[in-house]
Structure 1
Amino acid sequence: MEASEFEDVLDEWFIESLTAYKDLHVYQLEHPTQVIEWTSGKTVCVAGYGSSKNQLLELRLPLKLFAEENKGLCAERDFKLLHGGFSDGPVGCLRHIPASRLIVTNDGQGTDLQVWDLGGDDSDVIRRTGTVKGRESAQQCGSRIAASPSSSPQVLHGAESGSVQLTQLTSGQSLYKLETDTSDPLNSLQFTSDAVFLAGCSNGRIYMADTRVSAAPQMSPPPASSGQSAVWWTDATADPQQASCRVVRLSSSGHAVVSDLRKLGEAVCQAQLDIHCSSDNVTVSWAPRRNYISASGFSGVVDIYDTRDWRIELRRVQPLFQHRGHEVSCKQADGCDPVCITAHVWHPERPQTLLSTASDGSVHVWDWVEPDSKRAESKSEPSILQDQK
């Protein structure tokens, strides 16, 4: 792209962003990351995935983002590095342990986990404090991790459906093992309550189990899909105060299927998204307490969709909103791969705020503006977590 053409595209997007965003802040990492994890409502942890030594960083988001009034008078407009450390290998998965200063990581290659102390007011160093042994896996792939919402520090982890276990961090004791007849590679592990969890497999299967009992897990087969050998990614809404939750499965061919947790084999609605992917960095995620899902990893944009527009019949849908900031602001050199989103997350408490990272090391935190028509619908329609009558 010629310099003048790049400047024109950037200027056009900047003008669009004035009305498309309530807030938009940018940070540049020395090396890109595939992991973003909230450690509090104002701080996140990121880590590199290079083949050798990688940084682990805890960043505080710009305080201007959280100013309710007189944002222009807020002096804190930049990300701030709070704590940092180094990992001897790549970081392919990272989870924060609730109500603690601990994080757990996996290198994306083996099944063992690394435990880290994020430090506190008296230290700005992130230190490795231990290792959690994983179950052997036939696949040469890394473990997925889910932090237990219980008061005791526990992690659910495994690389395959047949190698998932719950481990007590303080003692290293194995508290639960998922027993299945298959060894399907996992794309997600997620608690939906204090004890119930979902294991989402890359072939579209979902196992649901309860760590309090030794009963066999419930298994939901993959959704019917026209894509050959489709890879699937899974996410679930989770709120212990609600009677049920929804599960979304997204395939590499762009087929998205929403199911109720109580009837995983039945589709509540579905849609064909205009995306295709061969990347491993796909993220599909429910917005907190909302009807929106977001998807990334297919290109240099983050797409947001409104599932209220989806039907039981499969049809093509367009995104409600696209964050194109990473793609637009990266001046691609001739012969280089185009920038691609490597991860994104919703803020746990701010329903319009997301954080996204890209392959060029850019980090964006953005508060998007709902289209006027959708804003009116959001005020009148119930949350997706509420039972349909």
Structure 2
Amino acid sequence: MALTVSLCCTRPQGVFVAGYGQSGGNEILQLLPPPPMREVVTKSLFPEREFKVECGGFSSRPIYSLKCVPGHIGDAEVAHPLGENVIKPVSAIPAENGHPWARIATTAARAQWVLHGSTLDSVHITEVEARKNISILLSFPAARSSEELSGLAFLDCNTLLLCCAKGQLYLGDIRQPQAPLDPVSVPWALGDERWCMGVRQAAAGSASSSQPIACLSNRGHLTLTDVRKPSEPLASVKCSVPSPSSNAEFLCVSWAPALEGCVAISGFDGTVHVYDTRSWDSSASAAEPTFVHKGHMFGEEDSNGDPPLVTAHTWHPQKPRTLLSAASDGSLSIWDWVQPRGTCG
């Protein structure tokens, strides 16, 4: 079984989790974190350390990822809480081109819009409340149109950023859907590495041009760039990972929303690495993490004797040094770290 994790945008103290595995019953839950994560407490010991289930349900389909939009939660299948303790599916957006699941992204600027797609030629926007497809008809070179997507994001209400599994980046504008989109010339898109991306979301009222991009490969290469000049890396480093990721679908890189220059990566083993990128420049080559969360390493081994693999992580939107992480053994951790002098923050 694998577990995905997401924080609810509209209720920061709530956590949604979902899993997928070999069986047909895939569970989705809304959890309430333990008191230390919900409120300010002065005690040094906390008797309550467990998550509590607020509501939940089952899906006949595997749930590969979660994104929150106001009043809704879902993957390619959209669901929301009905009643006091039941989550039921309300509609489905079918996948295209035979792919089992689509990458998804949401934006507060267009509260009901979901950006989704599995390949370059299957990118769509759906307005979930009206269940209406917003046709954008992005135009790509024919030779690249069927390339697999590893990530996509709204930079603002009109600008999209797409990342292919091979590392190419595409910038699109829904106001000019017929303009041909050629890949940004990125020198890191080489060889047989698989890539994912993380975009730091701009603060309310700021321009999308201030958003940094982090691209992570399954061999631990991490490249930072700026949306204004994505073809010119600000820094390229080799992260301190034990070995290449054996399952690139679990690669995850994310920017801390409340810490300047702080990035977390996972998907290589049972750990989550946190890096402070503020001192990196174009001459950087290797990087050591500021902090390594090893809690999942001590979980139950799989049938091959391997420790659990971290399948997803996400930052708490208000608590600067707090992350949630999920692993292949179904475990869910919420953790933070003491700030060493001179590091993130």
Q: TM-score, normalised by structure 1?
A: 0.79
Larger radius of gyration: 1
Shift in alpha-carbon separation, 1:103–1:334, aligned structure 2, 3 A: closer
Asked if residue 355 in structure 1 is aligned to residue 319 in structure 2, the reply is no
For 1:369 and 1:56, how far apart are their aligned partners in 2?
32
2:193 is aligned with what amino acid?
Answer: A
Q: What letter is aligned with 2:245? A: C
Counterpart for residue 325 of structure 1: 295
Of 182, 189, 201 in structure 1, the residue corresponding to residue 164 of structure 2 is: 201
Q: For the structure 1 residues 67 and 171, does the alpha-carbon distance in structure 2 shift closer, same or farther, using more than 3 Å as the test?
A: closer
- Residue by residue over 1:11-69, the C-alpha shift from the partner in whole angstroms, topping out at 9 and shown as x without a partner, is xxxxxxxxxxxxxxxxxxxx541343434211111111113111110111112224324
| Matching residue within 84, 88, 91 for 1:127 | 88
The runs of 5 or more residues in structure 1 that have no matched partner are 1-30, 106-112, 379-389
1:56 pairs with 28, 39, 42, which one? 28
Aligned pairs for 1:23-172 within 5 A: 32-39=2-9, 40-51=11-22, 52-72=24-44, 76-97=48-69, 99-100=70-71, 102-105=72-75, 113-119=76-82, 122-134=83-95, 136-137=96-97, 140-172=99-131
CA–CA distance in structure 2, aligned partners of residues 82 and 317 of structure 1: 41
**Identical-residue share of aligned pairs (%):** 32
Q: Deviation at 1:220? A: 1.3
* Aligned residue pairs, count: 331
Structure 1 residues 66 and 72: CA distance shift in structure 2, 3 A: farther
Residues 1:273 and 1:200: Cα distance change in structure 2 (over 3 Å):
same
User: Contact 2:309–2:328 at 8 Å: present in 1 too?
Assistant: yes
1:273 matched to 2:236? no
171, 175, 184: which one aligns with 1:220 = 184
Take 1:54 and 1:174, find their aligned partners in 2: how far apart are those partners?
A: 27
Residues 300 and 340, structure 1, Cα contact 8 Å, conserved in 2: yes
Match of 2:140 among 172, 180, 185: 180
CA positional deviation for 1:260: 0.7
Cross-structure match for 1:110: none
Letter in 2 for 1:59: L
Cα deviation, residue 151, structure 1: 4.8
Equivalent-residue separation in structure 2 for 1:209 and 1:228 (angstroms): 25
- SS at the partner of 1:374? coil
Q: CA deviation at 1:116?
A: 0.8
Equivalent residues in 2 for 1:219-368 (5 A)?
219-224=183-188, 228-239=191-202, 240-243=204-207, 244-275=210-241, 276-279=244-247, 280-289=249-258, 290-327=260-297, 329-330=298-299, 332=301, 335-368=304-337
> Quick one: which amino acid aligns to residue 53 of structure 2?
L
For 2:117 and 2:309, locate their aligned partners in 1 and report how far apart those are by CA, in whole Å.
27
Q: Call closer, same or farther: CA 1:185–1:272 in 2, change over 3 Å.
A: same
Report the Cα distance in structure 1 between the residues aligned to 2:108 and 2:224, rounded to whole angstroms.
Answer: 24
Letter in structure 2 aligned against 1:220: V
Between Structure 1 and Structure 2, the one with more helix by share is 1
CA distance in 2, matches of 1:245, 1:205: 18
Distance across 1 between alignment mates of 2:57 and 2:14: 16
Judge conservation of contact 1:204–1:223 (CA < 8 Å) in 2.
no
More contact order relative to length (CA 8 Å, sep ≥ 6): 1
Report what 1:374 is aligned to: 343
**1:86, 1:363 → 2: CA distance?**
18
SS at match of 1:326: helix
Q: Does the CA-based 8 Å contact 1:64-1:71 persist in structure 2?
A: no
Deviation of the 1:189 alpha carbon:
1.4
What one-letter code is carried by the residue in structure 1 that aligns with 2:103? R
The 3-state SS of whatever aligns with 1:128 is: strand
How many angstroms does 1:154 deviate by? 1.6
Q: Is the 8 A contact 2:7 2:316 kept in 1?
A: no
| Amino acid paired to 1:131 | A
Q: 1:303 to 1:73 in 2, by over 3 A?
A: closer
User: What is the CA distance between 1:218 and its match in structure 2?
Assistant: 5.8
- 1:36 and 1:69 map into 2 onto residues whose CA distance is 24
Tell me the amino acid that sits aligned with residue 57 of structure 2.
Answer: G
CA RMSD after TM alignment: 2.2
Which consecutive residues of structure 2, in runs of 5 or more, have no partner in the other structure? none
**Separation (CA, whole Å) in 1 of partners of 2:146 and 2:185:** 14
The alpha carbon displacement at 1:183 in A equals: 1.9
Structure 2 SS opposite 1:193: coil
Q: Using the alignment, how far apart are the partners of 2:326 and 2:199 within structure 1?
A: 22
Q: Structure 1 CA distance, aligned partners of 2:114 and 2:220?
A: 31
